[in-house]
Amino acid sequence: MKKINFDFIPPHLNCKNCGECCGLVPIGEKEYEDIKKYCIDNNVIPKNVGIFDCPFRDNENKKCLIYEVRPEICRRFICSKSMPEIEDAKKLCEKTRETVSMRNIFFDGEPL
């Protein structure tokens, strides 16, 4: 299994529970074992929500069901909604060129 280095990304401290980070989440073997143990110990049942959504995101209550053992990629996710400087960079990008959501185009638009 390939190791991913997340050290260059600062810890995410201003979470707004928006769920922006709750998408397709790659995890390592240790993370899998930690999540599995946490689910068994805390009676957490993953939801079968499709390939682009996290099975541990509770959208109704806007929370992560495995927050205490969430994967490193979730801990280090750069969320534009909680980091104003990222949102400012996105606005600048939109001013210089038109941007579109690839996911919306391929999944919400007309079929190919």
Domain coordinates in residue numbering, the chain: 29-108
Computed over every residue of the chain, the mean pLDDT equals 73
Q: Chain centroid to CA 27: how far?
A: 12
Structure tokens at 59: 């959208």
pLDDT at 62 > cutoff 90: no
pLDDT at 39 > cutoff 90: yes
Q: Are 1 and 33 in contact (CB under 8 A)?
A: no
pLDDT at 64 > cutoff 70: yes
Identify each DSSP E strand in 1-112 by its residue range: 57-58, 63-64
pLDDT band of residue 100 (cuts 50, 70, 90) is low
pLDDT at 76 > cutoff 60: yes
Structure tokens at 70: 């969430």
Please count the helices (runs of H) and the strands (runs of E) in the chain.
4, 2
Nearest-5° Cα angle at 26, 22 to 30: 115
DSSP H helices, 1-112, are: 29-42, 72-75, 84-96, 102-108
Nearest-5° Cα angle at 40, 35 to 45: 80
